[in-house]
A and B are shown apart, each in its own frame.
Chain A
Amino acid sequence: MAIVKATKTPERPAPISETSILGWLQKNLFSSVFNSVLTLLTTYIIYLTISGVYVWGFVDATFVAETRRECYDNSLTGACWAGVIDWLDNIFYGRYPREELWRINFGGILLAFWMAPLWITRAKGKVLVGASVVAFYPFLAGYLFSGGDKGLFMQVMVSAAIVAFVINMANAIAGLLKQQSIAQFVISSLGQTNAADKSQRNLLIALVVVGFGVAYLWQSSWTVEFVSWTKWGGLFLTLVISGIGIASALPGGIILALGRRSKLPVLRVLSTGFIEIFRSVPLITVLFMATTMFPLFMPEGFVLNKLVQVIIAVVLFNACYMAETVRAGLQAIPKGQAEGAHTIGLGYWGTMGLIIMPQALKHMIPNIVGSFIGLLKDTTLVSIIGLFDILGMLRSISKDIPWLGLHKEPLIFGAILFFIICFAMSKYSRHLEVKLSAGDRH
């Protein structure tokens, strides 16, 4: 006789050691005497740290006070956040005139709106959106921040930027509602879908020109007050320097990297020499050279704005680092790719722009974002040469008479701000990687 059971034995519930919290604890934290001791010790350290920080930074802390003495009167051992709160405007905007702060805020909001379509899946033409930000936004923002009389060039660029912004917004809306680009939307709503390509294009150009005219007339009706760059500071200045650095380091780096791999000896030697010189000198030295030595070589009385000097130094320095990152990416692309591109008749720029770069850049995203984060943090060095960027401001709090000696709280506040910004950048890079699915290719 055979022992056969026709029905499946019902699954027994998992043993209590697998499902209960206690079981998990025992398995992961208290599996041996040594591990138990380790767990208890670590828990105790974590408890001490967190409770210490919590009591210092929150329970005993003072949030409203006029001077540090009042903080002391309130609690001798707690944090004095009142000083940081009192200095918030300085920390974020520097010495920018207080009644003009809306310009910085408006510039920031403008940038957020301008770049928003990059995150909207339904919006079309993301590359053009990105290019328009780099090409036009700096002029609009630059005028908004520094103000004064607009020269003819500035008037034209501001108008162009306004037109670009409006088109970009309309494009995003058309994408959201109809999943069309703005060009398609305009053509179809004017009933020109079947017209010849050329007349469609002429129609669009005519519309843009009319828009430009309107924008030009409108922008010439207002100006904003002049604010000297010496009043710029705080987080705003940090973001301006690193923003320009980030926007130009990548194109600069690509050009330098291509130069270094070029077959033309002059180009190659120049690029290599340039990269090696800038890479082998510390950034602070480059900054000191740019701000104090540079005027000595110039004709007497020739004074270049210090901020521009600093920005040029930061851009050149980071372009060189970026060049090496890009070169590493280029070298990872198999030779067959370039050869394949040649066989289908692509020239040098076609090969680079359509075949090599898109693949290389995709793989370089973690490195590129890493450099960007490094750049953002490096810009705090400008506080040493006397610009009041965010670090300069945070350190100045301890020297303001009402807050004399208050230096821990501002630096902790700064660390939190930097963490938020850098973490967001890092998260965004992860998002890009996943989206371009670079990670699962090889």
Chain B
Amino acid sequence: MKFHCNLALVAALAAIGASGATTVAAETTLEIVKARGHLRCQVGSPSPGFYNMDSKGDWYGLDVSVCQAVAAAIFGDKNAIEFQSVSSQARFTALANGDSDMLSRTATMTMSRETQLGIDFLPPVFYDGQGFMVRKDSGITTALDLKGASVCVKTGSTTELNLTDFSREHDLNLTPVTFEDYNVRDDTYQNGGCDAVSNDKSSLAGNSASFATPSDHIILPETISKEPLAPAVRQGDSQWHDLVQWSVYALINAEELGITQANVDDMRANSKDPNVLRMLGVEGNLHEGIGLNKDWAYNIIKAVGNYGEIYEKYIGGGEQGLGIDRDDTLNALWSNGGLMYSPPMR
């Protein structure tokens, strides 16, 4: 084309694209990441509790912490990350085409996604499920009371499909009212535009906390879908897969073993528990298989804390948290009746 002579464009290319085009030979993902000096971790446009931006421009949230854990494992520095915010239509393409090293963004693990899109899901870091929220004064106490109700949902997501399935199954004749933006959906619901809102329960709880009077609304007990939210990596590099997978397990395992951000130094120095010593790299050689340093797991816990701490901070009652209880939910540790379970690290 004729844009070679276009000075401004050339200038732009020269100025912004100082890092411009770089060609890397075929290497393992870990080698590429190490050579680059930072991890490319894909999140989405902000989603409360999981990945959002604060007023200083820093990312925070549960999924962000998973990225930080992996970065800490590799570099010993949780800030060695470039967060990529990718639209949900392009999320799996951007992972599969090598743009992102990993994806950590409330993606629901499903069979078709894992088997057809060239990606591998890792252990879920949050078990969500779709539910309903109604106004307290409506007198509705169970989703089966919703007969003939209009329900506000976000368009184009599995949420809408699940709702239709549920309506058909129980012959409820629900009318979906669809929205592109959940803020508009919530406004409509609050102004009486629909009888109920349906979405993932974590998100319902988070959003209702922002209503003028949150206590006027209740979340119904039914859960109508399974939404295991899991990070994912590209298929075809099992070392990288193992690395990210065991970084996630390390978070869960640390909670089980009672290792926290605050006591990790003490535990490494004084613990008698061989499980702790193995995990923190004092004994054994767990690190060799994933190509990292001895203290990779120590770095993770030192940087972001264990799973329970992260949950409390961003999903639970912490200052930046959504305020969702963890007890008696699927997200509790297996020893407390939940599903959070790490295979032994030995």
Contacts and interface: CB of A to CB of B under 8 A. Distances in A.
Interface in A302-354: 302-305, 307-308, 311-312, 315-316, 319
Contact of B90 (A96, A228, A385, A401): A385
A405 B207 contact: yes
Given A248-B6, A302-B23, A315-B3, A386 B210 contact: no
B262 interface: no
Contacts, number: 188
B207 A138 contact: no
Contact of B183 (A96, A134, A303, A405): A405
A432 interface: no
Given A87-B55, A292-B90, A399-B46, A305 B19 contact: yes
Nearest to B6: A248
A299 interface: yes
A255 to B, nearest CB: 5
B211 A405 contact: yes
Interface stretch (A4-12, A21-29, A141-149, A421-429): A141-149
Contact of A311 (B1, B12, B53): B12
A225 to B, nearest CB: 13
B209 A404 contact: yes
Interface stretch (B67-75, B79-87, B279-287): B79-87
Nearest to B318: A401
Interface residues of A, number: 75
Contact of A94 (B23, B32, B57, B84): B57
A142 B14 contact: yes
A138 B7 CA distance: 9
A392 B2 contact: no
B111 interface: no
Q: Is the interface of A mostly helix, strand, loop or mixed?
A: helix
Among B6, B23, B47, B320, which residue has the most Cβ atoms of chain A within 10 A?
B6
Contacts of A90: 53, 55-57
B237 interface: no
A282 interface: no
Contact of B48 (A296, A311, A401): A401
Contact of B8 (A247, A383, A402, A407): A247
Interface string A233-266: 1000000000010011001100110010000000
Interface string A200-221: 0000000000000000000000
B57 A233 contact: yes
B18 A405 contact: no
B13 interface: yes
Contacts of A305: 16-17, 19-21
Interface stretch (B93-101, B246-254, B294-302, B328-336): B93-101
Nearest to B46: A399
Contacts of B56: 89-90, 98
Q: Considering the complex of A and B, which 4 residue pairs feature the smallest CB-CB distances, nearest first?
A: A142-B15, A405-B210, A138-B11, A95-B57
Given A274-B1, A401-B320, 19 more contacts: A89-B57, A94-B57, A95-B53, A98-B56, A134-B8, A141-B15, A142-B11, A142-B14, A146-B18, A154-B14, A231-B57, A233-B57, A300-B26, A302-B24, A305-B19, A399-B46, A399-B53, A405-B211, A407-B181
Interface of B: 1-3, 5-9, 11-26, 32, 44-49, 52-58, 82-87, 89-90, 93-94, 97-99, 181, 183-184, 186, 206-207, 209-212, 320-322
